[in-house]
Structure 1
Amino acid sequence: MAIITEEEEEETKPLVPPGSKESTMKNPFPFWFYFTIIFSLATLLFVSLSLYSSQNDPRSWFLSLPPALRQHYSDGRTLKVQVNPDELPIQVFVAESGPAQSENVIVVHGLGLSSYAFREMIQSLGSKGIHGVAIDLPGNGFSDKSMVVVGGDREIGFVGRVKEVYGLIQEKGVFWAFDHMVETGDLPYEEIIKLQNSKRRSLKAIELGSEETAKVLDQVIDTLGLSPVHLVLHDSALGLASNWVSENPQSVRSITLIDSSINPALPLWVLHIPVIREVLLGFSFAFKMLVSLRCSKDMTLSQIEAHRILLKGSNGREAVLGSLKKLNHSFDIALWGNSDAVNGIPMQVIWSKQVSDVWSEEGQRVSKALPKAKFVTHSGSRWPQESKSSELTGYIADFVSAFPISIKRVPEEPIPEKVQKILDEAKAGGDHDHAHAGYTDAYGLGEGWTT
C-alpha cells in the first residue's frame, strides 16, 4: 500500500518564475498600475490643451494687452477685404487722424511692424490739417493673422492630431473606441479618420505678397474714399506695395520712402530657429536686445514690448515669416522707379544718417536709382517713426503741402436699370409726353398733365 505524503504533493507542483507571463496574469496589480498611469497622463495632457486653448482665446489675449495697445485699437476701426475669391473676407485694422476732406496720407509699414508704430505720426499729421491713415497689413498688428480652414487631409503635426483626438473623445466619450472594439473586434480606424477629416478646423497663417498687398490697398483706399493718396512706405513696405503703385498710378499723388529696403531691418530669419525664437518672443529683454542691435536704440522698453506682443500673438510669427518668403528679393528699385507708370509720380526719400556708413551708402544708391526724387536725411535709426516722429512728419507735411489740392475721385453711382430704360425710351422716341414717364414734372402735376 502506497503512502502519499504531503512532501510528494509539493514536489509535483510546477514552479512558476516570478516574472513569467503566467505569474503576471494571476497578479492584476501591474495592469491597474499601468492603466492608472496612462489615464493620469492623458488627463494631464487634455487639461493642458484646454488651458492652451483658453490662452489663445482672442478676448483673453486682448484683455491681457497693455493699455496703450488697447487704446490704439479703440481709436481705430476694422474693414473687411476679399483677398482670394475662394476664401472668407479678412479683417484689416485702420487708424486715422485729421480732417477727412483734406489731403490723404496713407502709411504702410514693413514686416515686423504695425500701425501702432506710426500712431504719433498720423496724429501729428492730423494736427497739421492732413488726413493721416495707417493700416495693419493682414498678418500684422490687429489685422487677421490667420484664417480657419475646415475639412481636408492636411498635415497638421503631432500637437494638432492630439487636439483632434481630444475633441473626438469629448464628442464620442472616452470608451467609444473601446466599445466599438469589443463589438467588432477591431478599432474603427476608418471612421476615426473620416470624422477627423470632415470636422478638422485648422488655422492657416496669412501669407502676404505684393499681389495680395495690392488687393488689400485697393479695397481699403476704395472703401475709405481716399483716392488719390500720398503714399508713405517704410522699410520692406516698398517691395509689398510696388505692384499696387505700378497698377494704379492715377491714384497716387506722391510717394515717400522712409529707409526703404527689400530686406526688413528686423532680422526675421532668426524666428525660424527653434529655441531662439521662443526666447526672443518670450522674453522682453531678449527682444529689446534684437531691436536695439538692428532697428532702433532710441525706442523705450514699453514701445518695444508692444511690438513683441503683436508679433507673438495669434500666429503673428508664422504670418510674418510666410510673407517674408513671398517678398521679391530681386526687386530692382531703379527699374521700378523709372518705369512708364511710376516715372511721373513725385517722390521723396527720407534716409537715416546715423545708422552706419554702409546704410548711408545704401541711401545714396537709392538716391541715384531715383534721380528725380527729393532726398533728405533724418537723425534717427532704421525705425525712426516713434523716436523721431515730429521730424519725419515735418518732411512729409512740407512735401505734401507743395502740391495743388487734390481733386477727390467720387465714384459714379450706377443708374437703376428701370430708370435707365425709361430714359433710353424717352431719348429714342423724342416725344415730350414720354419724357415725363414715371416722374412728376417741375410743377408736381405728374405725367398726365396736359395743356
Structure 2
Amino acid sequence: MAIITEEEEESKTLVTPEINSKSESAAMKNPQHKPESQNPFPFWFHFTLVVSLATILSVSLSLFSSHNDPRSWFLSLPPALRQHYSDGRTIKVQVNPDESPIEVFVAESGSIYSVNVIIVHGLGLSSYAFRGMIQSLGSKGIHGVAIDLPGNGFSDKSMVVVGGDRDIGFVARVKEVYGLIQEKGVFWAFDQMIETGDLPYEEIIKLQNSKRRSLKAIEIGSEETARVLGQVIDTLGLAPVHLVLHDSALGLASNWVSENSPSIRSISLIDSSISPALPLWVLNVPVIREVLLGFWFGFKQLVSFRCSKEMTLSQIEAHRILLKGRNGREAVVGSWRKLNHSFDIAQWGNSDAISVIPMQVIWSREGSKEWSDEGQRIAKALPKAKFVTHSGTRWPQESKSGELADKIADFVSQLPRSIRRVAEEPVPEKVKKVLEEAKAGGDHHHHHDQGHAHAGYTDAYGLGEGWTT
C-alpha cells in the first residue's frame, strides 16, 4: 500500500506543472483576455448595510427626540417641578426683530399692588432656585417675581429654523439621506449611486435646504437680555422695579440697567460675578458632558465642587433636569460664550447712570478664601453699595431663601416708596371735552371713580397719565 501511495503522489506532482504550463501558454497567446465581471454581491451588501444603519439611526433619533418633545418632557418631570410650572405663567417676548416670538416663564408671589422685586438668575440656574425667596417676599408684603431667561428653566430653549444652508452634523446628514430615500424610493438612490458611485449627498443638500426644519438653540447676550427684561417688566407693569441680580446675571443685565436707570429703584447683587459659578465650559466637552448631565451623581459632584455643598439630592436633580432638557445645555453654553468676560464692574458701578441707584451686595461668607477675596474686591469696586453677607454658598440653596429674602426686604423697606410714572399719551379731544364738562359740572363721584380707575395704568384711550404711589 505504501508503494501505491507514492506512485499516486508522483503522478500528481508530474501533472501539476503540465497544467500550469498550459495556463501560462494560453495566457501568452491571448494577452487581451479580460477578467470576469466584478461580483455585485459586495455592492448590494454595502448598500443594504447603509440603508439598515440609516433606519436604525432614524428610529433611535425618533426615540431620543421624544425626550425633547415639550409634552413628553413635562410629563416626565418630578412633581416639584410640575408644581412650580403650574404656579407661574409664560409671556411672549420678541428677542430678535427677524425671529418669531418666544415664551419666557415667570413665577410670582405677593400682591401686584405692592413693591415690585424682580430676580434674574445666573446661567445654569432658573427661577426654580428662587421660588422659596419670592414666596418669602410675598409673605412680607412684597411682590416677588423670578423669571427664566431664554434658554433656561421653563422658558423656550430652542426655535424651529426653516431653510438655510447651515452646517449640520453627521447624524443629521444620515437622517436627511434616509428621509429622502423614503420620499423618492430606494431605486432613486440606487440609480444615483450607479451614476456617481456614492450617496447623492449634493443632490440631497439642494433638495433639503429649501425645506429643512431644524432646532436652533436660543443663545442670549447682553442685548438679548435687555430686550427680554424690558418686555417682561413692561408686560407685568413692574416699573420702577427693585432688581436682584444673581451670579452671572450681572454681566447679562448690565447694559439694560445702564440704559433704563429711571425704571430701577434699587439693585441687589447676590454673589455676582462675570464667570458663572457653574463651570459651563465642562458642559462643552464631549463624553464628559454626557456623564455630568446624564447621571445625577456626576452633576452632584460638579455642583458640590463650585456651587453649593448643602443642596439636597432632589434639588440637584431638579436643576440637572432643567439644564439638560429641551436642548438646554446647548443654549446655556452658547450664552456663556457671549458673556462679556472683560466687564469692568467698577467702571459700570461708578458711571453717572448707576451711581445714583441705591445698591447692596449680598455675599457668601461660607465660600472659599478666593471667593471671600472676590467679595472684598467687589466691595471696593462699589464703595457706595451696602455690603452684607449671608450664610449660604454661591448658589443660594433653599434653606437660605428666608435669610436672603429678609436682607432684600430690609434694604427695600429703607428706601422711599416707589413712584410710578405712567407713559404719557395724547388724550383724544372728545375725551378731553367729556372730562372738562364733568369737572365743570362738579360731578365729584364720577371724577373720583375716574381717578381711581386710572391710577397706575392707562386705558384704551390713554387715560391715567400722571404720578401714582
**TM-score for the superposition, normalised by structure 2:** 0.80
Instruction: Note the alpha carbon deviations across 1:52-84, whole angstroms, 9 max, x for none.
Output: 232322211111111111111111111111121
Q: Is the CA contact (8 Å cut-off) linking 2:181 and 2:189 kept in structure 1?
A: no
Distance 2:186 2:200 in 1: 14
| Separation of aligned partners in 2, 1:292 and 1:214 | 31
Contact 1:114/1:136, CA 8 A, preserved across alignment? yes
Displacement of 1:374 after TM fit? Answer: 1.1
Partners of 1:121 and 1:385 within 8 A in 2: no
- CA-CA distance at 1:95 after TM superposition: 0.5
1:143 aligns with 2:130: no
Shift of 1:262: 0.7
Deviations 1:288-319 (A, max 9, x none): 01101110011001101111111111221111
- Select the residue among 30, 33, 36 that pairs with 1:22: 36
1:303-346: per-residue Cα shift (whole Å, max 9, x none)? 01111111111221111111111111111111111110011100
Partners of 1:182 and 1:34 lie apart in 2 by 13
Shift of 1:30: 5.8
Q: How does 1:305-320 map to 2 (within 5 A)?
A: 305-320=317-332
Conserved in 2, the CA contact under 8 Å of 1:254 and 1:345?
A: yes
| Residue of structure 2 in register with 1:163 after alignment | 175
Residue 324 (structure 1) aligned with residue 336 (structure 2): yes
Higher helix share: 2
- 1:69 aligned residue: 81
Change (3 A) 1:392 1:194: same
Pairing 1:377–2:377 present: no
Counterpart in the other structure of 2:208: 196
- Cα offset, 1:382, TM superposition: 0.6
Gap change, CA 1:160 and 1:35, over 3 Å in 2? closer
Is 1:217 aligned to 2:229, yes or no? yes
1:357 paired with 2:369, answer yes
2:96 corresponds in structure 1 to 84
SS for the counterpart of 1:78 is strand
**Structure 1 pair 35/338, CA: closer, same or farther in 2 (3 Å)?**
closer
Asked if 1:282 is matched to 2:294, the reply is yes
SS at match of 2:343: coil
Please give the residue correspondences for 1:81-160 in structure 2 after superposition, counting only pairs within 5 Å. 81-160=93-172
Shift, 1:24, TM fit:
6.1
Partners of 2:369 and 2:195 in 1: how far apart? 77
Whole-angstrom distance in 2 between the partners of 1:186 and 1:265? 49
Report the 3-state secondary structure (helix = DSSP H, G, I; strand = E; otherwise coil) of the residue aligned with 1:400. helix
Q: Give secondary structure in 2 for the equivalent of 1:94.
A: strand
Q: Counterpart of 1:196 in 2: which secondary structure?
A: helix
Could you tell me which amino acid in structure 2 is paired with residue 22 of structure 1?
A: E
d(CA) in 2 for partners of 1:149 and 1:287?
A: 31
Change (3 A) 1:179 1:102: same
Tell me how far apart the structure 2 counterparts of residues 189 and 395 of structure 1 sit (CA, whole Å). Answer: 61
Q: Is the 8 A contact 1:385 1:392 kept in 2?
A: no
Summarize deviations over 1:213-256 as a string: whole Å, max 9, x none: 11110110001000000000111111111111110111011101
Q: What one-letter code is carried by the residue in structure 2 that aligns with 1:396? A: I
Determine the C-alpha separation between the residues in 2 that align with 1:124 and 1:99: 12
1:50-65 pair list within 5 angstroms: 50-65=62-77
CA distance in 1, matches of 2:237, 2:168: 41
How do 1:363-442 and structure 2 match up within 5 A? 363-415=375-427, 419-420=428-429
* 1:207 pairs with 2:219: yes
Distance of 2:309 and 2:219 partners within structure 1: 29
Distance 1:309 1:327, change over 3 A: same
Q: How many residues in Structure 1 have an aligned counterpart in Structure 2?
A: 408
Q: Distance in 2 between matches of 1:375 and 1:38?
A: 64
- Report the alpha carbon displacement of residue 29 of structure 1 after superposing the two structures with TM: 6.2
* Counterpart position of 1:443: none
- Go from structure 1 to structure 2 and tell me whether the alpha carbon gap of 1:23 and 1:340 turns closer, same or farther (over 3 Å shift): closer
Give the equivalent residue in structure 2 for 1:342. 354
Structure 2 distance, partners of 1:331, 1:35, is 55
Q: Structure 2 vs 1, CA of residues 48 and 238 (structure 1 numbering), >3 Å: closer, same or farther?
A: same
1:21 & 1:294 partners in 2: Cα distance? 69
**Alignment partner, residue 292 of structure 1:** 304
Task: Find the partner of 2:284 among 240, 248, 272.
Answer: 272
TM-score under structure 1 length normalisation = 0.83
> Is the alpha carbon distance of 1:48 and 1:226 closer, same or farther for their aligned partners in structure 2, counting shifts above 3 Å?
same
Q: Which amino acid aligns with 2:346?
A: A
CA distance in 1, matches of 2:68, 2:36: 50
* Preserved contact between residue 253 and residue 346 of structure 1 (Cα < 8 Å): yes
1:440 equivalent in structure 2: none
Match of 2:447 in 1: none
Unmatched runs of 5 consecutive residues or more in structure 1: 1-10, 427-431, 433-451
Q: 1:394 to 1:176 in 2, by over 3 A?
A: same
Contact 2:54 2:174 in 1 (8 A): no
In the alignment, the residues of structure 2 paired with residue 277 and residue 21 of structure 1 have an alpha-carbon distance, to the nearest angstrom, of: 54
CA contact (8 A) 2:92 2:104 kept: yes
Superimposed CA distance per residue, residues 116-166 of structure 1 (whole angstroms, 9 cap, x where no aligned partner): 000000011011110000000111111111222111111112112122223
The separation in 2 between residues aligned to 1:423 and 1:352, in whole angstroms, is 56
Given the superposition, is the C-alpha separation of residues 232 and 29 from structure 1 closer, same or farther in structure 2, using an over 3 Å criterion?
closer
Q: Deviations over 1:346-398 (max 9, x none)?
A: 01111111112221121111111111111111111111242211110110111
2:344 and 2:223 map into 1 onto residues whose CA distance is 17
The answer as to whether partners of 1:164 and 1:200 remain within 8 angstroms in 2 is no
Which blocks of at least 5 consecutive residues in structure 2 are unaligned? 1-20, 28-33, 438-469
Q: Residues 236-251 of structure 1: matches in 2 within 5 Å?
A: 236-251=248-263
Q: Percent identity?
A: 80
Kept in 2, the 8 Å contact 1:207–1:320? The answer is yes
